[in-house]
Amino acid sequence: MDSSLDDEIRLTALLELLSGSSWVSTHEILKTFDASAQTLAGAIQRLSDWGLTIGSLNGAAYRLESPIQLLRTSRIRGELPPDWQAVMGISVLPVVDSTNTRLLCDWPNQLPWAILAEYQSDGRGRRGRRWYSPFGVNLYLSVAWAFDRTHIELSTLPLAMGVCCIRALAPLGLAGLVIKWPNDLWINEAKLGGILVESCNVGEVLRVVVGVGINVNMDLGHSPPGAVLWTTLRNELTAQDKEVPDRNVLASALLTNIANGLRVFSAQGFGPFLNEWAARDMTRDRLVSVGVPEKITGIACGINEKGALRVKTSEGLILVESGDISIRVVSK
Ligand code: BTN
């Protein structure tokens, strides 16, 4: 009987079989999955569609061209500090549309709850952009949390979450890691990661999803099109002679710092994050161009306590509120 290799669990199992350094014969694959050659060809095509490069010896044997470490719930949970180990829900999914969308659509009973995915078919960035999410090479994760609506000033939360991501990455010892207002993670004038905070009101409760995408091992030849220059942790760490961490360990550090940050933000707001944000401010004292929606140009002078960017222009100081705004560094 020909078993389907369509479902994501079995495709992930196939991937694991192919992820060693040696070739796996077609005969062995067909036997393992009780599948036909035609089904296998379809499965190989699906894996390629997810952004994976599968090597083939004329169809007689296959292997994954670059090795990947898959995400494991048990490994991620095992790296969490004991207080979060006991209460944080974690789901690792091979494939989703978007981890943010999943949490907003299927709101969990237990909080905080985190979803991590190996691949997003509809990864979303800020301002309606797409977030390029090839399989197994980067990190795509979202954390669901709830606030008391009457006590929260949401506009600074994305900036606080930028600080939390910096805290998670700081132990890697990367020089030059900065935040580009409001909450993009940059290094050496290239984008390393981004954060998308989304929310909805349900009675007195404000449901919030914090989505984080970090480029870890992505091949830069495949980076998303557009004006932004991209980089990855692997690229930057290798250039600085440092080890690239296991994605599970990194995921755990991100979840820990995001959950800690959400807890502190609920009680104290943005205050405890402001100085760290300012210390990583990429555009401080630089000439910038900001669309609000008309473009203004001036010298960026940091942020105020509400997270608005201060820009000194020929017409005086302008406060750029967080929201649908783009910022472009035009010179040093
Ligand atoms: C940006 O535009 O810089 C924000 C990118 C946020 C991407 C992450 S990946 C995990 C989560 N799920 C999504 O669809 N988007 C966020």
Q: What is the mean pLDDT of each run of 10 residues along the chain (332 residues)?
A: 72 89 94 93 91 92 89 97 97 96 97 97 93 95 94 92 98 96 94 96 94 94 76 97 96 98 97 98 91 81 94 93 56 48
* Nearest protein CA to atom 15 of ligand 1, as residue: 124
pLDDT value for 90 = 98
Handedness of CA 179, 249, 138, 7 (dihedral sign): negative
Q: What crossing angle do the helices spanning 26-33 and 37-49 adopt, rounded to 10°?
A: 100
Residue 135: C-alpha distances to residues 64, 117, 167 (Å): 12, 9, 25
- The pTM for the full model equals 0.92
Q: Is the CB of 177 under 6 A from ligand 1?
A: no
Q: How far is the CA of 132 from the centre of ligand 1 (A)?
A: 9
Q: How far is the CA of 136 from the centre of ligand 1 (A)?
A: 16
Instruction: Give the CA dihedral 250, 97, 142, 218, nearest 10 degrees.
Output: 20
Q: Is the CB of 99 under 6 A from ligand 1?
A: yes
Residues classed as catalytic: 126, 191, 328
Mutate to test the pocket of ligand 1, among 131, 183, 255 (most ligand atoms within 8 A of CB): 131
* Nearest protein CA to atom 3 of ligand 1, as residue: 194
Q: Is the CB of 215 under 6 A from ligand 1?
A: no
> Using an 8 Å Cβ cutoff, are 231 and 185 in contact?
no
* Nearest protein CA to atom 11 of ligand 1, as residue: 211
Q: What letter would DSSP give residue 230?
A: B
The phi, psi pair for 71, rounded to 5°, reads -75, 140
Q: Is the CB of 281 under 6 A from ligand 1?
A: no
The phi, psi pair for 156, rounded to 5°, reads -95, -10
Q: How far is the CA of 251 from the centre of ligand 1 (A)?
A: 15
> Using an 8 Å Cβ cutoff, are 174 and 240 in contact?
yes
pLDDT value for 19 = 85
* Nearest protein CA to atom 10 of ligand 1, as residue: 140
Q: Is the CB of 119 under 6 A from ligand 1?
A: no
Mutate to test the pocket of ligand 1, among 96, 98, 124, 179 (most ligand atoms within 8 A of CB): 124
What number of other Cβ atoms are within 10 A of residue 244's Cβ? Answer: 16
Q: How far is the CA of 66 from the centre of ligand 1 (A)?
A: 24
Give the HSE-up count for residue 117: Cα atoms under 13 Å, Cβ half-sphere: 27
Q: Is the CB of 62 under 6 A from ligand 1?
A: no
C-alpha span between 183 and 160 (Å, rounded): 8
Q: How far is the CA of 61 from the centre of ligand 1 (A)?
A: 36
C-alpha span between 252 and 288 (Å, rounded): 35
C-alpha span between 190 and 138 (Å, rounded): 16
Give the HSE-up count for residue 248: Cα atoms under 13 Å, Cβ half-sphere: 16
How do 287-291 and 295-303 pair as beta strands?
A: antiparallel
pLDDT value for 6 = 74
Determine the atom of ligand 1 nearest the C-alpha atom of 124.
Answer: 14
Tokens of 71: 């995400």
Determine the atom of ligand 1 nearest the C-alpha atom of 99.
Answer: 12
Q: How far is the CA of 316 from the centre of ligand 1 (A)?
A: 34
Number of helices and strands (H, E) in the chain? 10, 15
Residue 332: what residue type?
K
User: What SS3 class is residue 190?
Assistant: strand
Instruction: Give the CA dihedral 67, 70, 74, 80, nearest 10 degrees.
Output: 90
Nearest Cα residue to 138 out of 116, 167, 166:
116
pLDDT value for 220 = 85
